[in-house]
Amino acid sequence: GLTVDLLLTAVVLFHLWLCPYTKVEESFNLQATHDFLYHAGNITQYDHHQFPGVVPRSFSGAFVVSTLAKPLQLLSDGLGMSKFFSQIIVRGILGVAVVFSLRVLRKAIEEGLGKEVGTYFMLMFCVQFHLPFYFSRTLPNVFALVLTNLALAAWIQKKYSRLIGFLVFGALILRSEIFIFGGCIGLQLLITKRISFFHSLGLALGFSFIFLALTVPMDSFLWQRWLWPEAEVLHYNTVQNKSHNWGVSPFYWYFLIAIPKTLMATSLFLPLGIYFGFVEKKLLNLLVPAVSFVFLYSFLPHKELRFIFYVFPLLNLTSAFGVSRLLQNTPKSKKGFAKFVVYSIFGASLIASLGFLYISSLNYPGGVAFHELHNLEKRENVNVHIDVHAAMTGVSRFGQLRDDWTYSKTEDIQDFSEYLQYSHLIHGNVTLLEELAQNFEVLAVVEGYDRIQKFPPKVIVAPKIWIMKNKAF
């Protein structure tokens, strides 16, 4: 069991090593961890005052991770390592936390279904791309995933008070969609008379009071106004119904596109798990709430994979159960062939995952350019402007390596002459290049993923970000 846990940890850290930069969706929590580590009580320097985002978010997850990261950050700084290494530390701690929560879930699975199912459960994650890729990314959904994994373990172990506690914290503080996920689980438990409605309601209300009392004061202090962040997010997405501004997808998107794409080749094991679950009358009580949650959440027009992260452990559990029972029920004369097929599917999924990982490593030209500028320019008093294209593809405060430099991400530049105040630019706006060339010289061009050529198969890259220096500097 420990071996497969360490294997998944290594897979997550490998994804982190190849893709150390982050994108705009992860920005709030990543910048918040930076500010906790490097600005501490000087909240006037915190990033969210300048870039608050569309809706406020809780600092709870970032506070916990930065607290855990602080000793390693101090050690890293003391050894003279780049500040950017602290970003690796922060993301690594989050990734390990997710794996630890899956380890707790694996042990609960093994208590009821056997060690073989637990082993295959962890192996499913190891050969998939999207989940290990996201495990170290500072999205609120990933922080919440730690709690939902622990909640699933408590559910399997019939520790319902603990289940309610984890779900309430996740829903109230981190991601409100967990209310729906928890509601599906709670309804199933009520129907099967595993829990009492009034007792569970009392627990939920008690936990709610405690968690809000712990987090609202901190969030209000940091945002400089009284607020319950996730309530404002819920109001934005439901009452104001503005989530569709970020794109809409058809009702079937989760079931027919997101889930198969995420499970990859291991999705072939899912029907096996459902079949053996029917035969042995196991797992269905776990799977039905998961499917119900995805069905209900499909009514929301705006869809993203991260919104349904919480169901994938249950889907992988079902697949693992199917593999285990297939190998157990296959006659000895055909067991070798059955193992060959199973491990071939694992292998195909792993190969595809490595391909996705390589492509993803090309999606952060802004981060690469930001790092490269610090290698190219060694002078003091550099004043660099980072445009939206670069800021959205990898630039973070952890990459601001020079205290004697000025970094600007000003978005509302109206007059071209405003660019002349900067000594350097990191830009991805192609339409401005010709005009900028009058006063700036190109130091380097960073390429990024462009498309996949079908024949012969090839990943095509193209210029994405330009590093430029003011000719007068």
pLDDT in tens, 32-56: 999 999 999 999 999 999 999 889 9
Provide mean pLDDT across the span 84-107. Answer: 98
State the pLDDT confidence band at 235, using cuts at 50, 70 and 90.
confident
pLDDT of residue 53: 87
Return the exposure string of 126-153: e unless at least 16 CB atoms fall within 10 Å of the residue's CB, then b.
bbbbbbbbbbbbbbbbbbbbbbbbbbbb
Provide mean pLDDT across the span 414-418. Answer: 87
Q: Distance between terminal CA atoms of the chain?
A: 59
pLDDT of residue 2: 86
> What average pLDDT is seen over the chain?
95
Q: Is the pLDDT of residue 241 over 80?
A: no
CA 272 to CA 321: how far, in whole Å?
8
Angle between helices 178-191 and 284-297 (to 10 degrees): 140
Assign residue 79 a region (left: φ > 0; alpha: ψ between -120 and 50; beta: otherwise): alpha
Q: Is the pLDDT of residue 274 over 90?
A: yes
State the pLDDT confidence band at 123, using cuts at 50, 70 and 90.
very high
pLDDT of residue 415: 86
Q: Is the pLDDT of residue 357 over 90?
A: yes
Provide mean pLDDT across the span 329-349. Answer: 95
Taking CB atoms within 8 Å and a gap of at least 24, the contacts of 437-445 are 439/470, 439/471, 439/472, 440/468, 440/469, 440/470, 440/471, 441/468, 441/469, 441/471, 442/466, 442/467, 442/468, 443/373, 443/376, 443/377, 443/467, 443/468, 443/469, 444/369, 444/372, 444/376
Residue with tokens 């679950």: 277
pLDDT of residue 336: 93
State the pLDDT confidence band at 200, using cuts at 50, 70 and 90.
very high
- Taking only the tens place, the pLDDT of each residue in 156-178 is 999 999 999 999 999 999 999 99
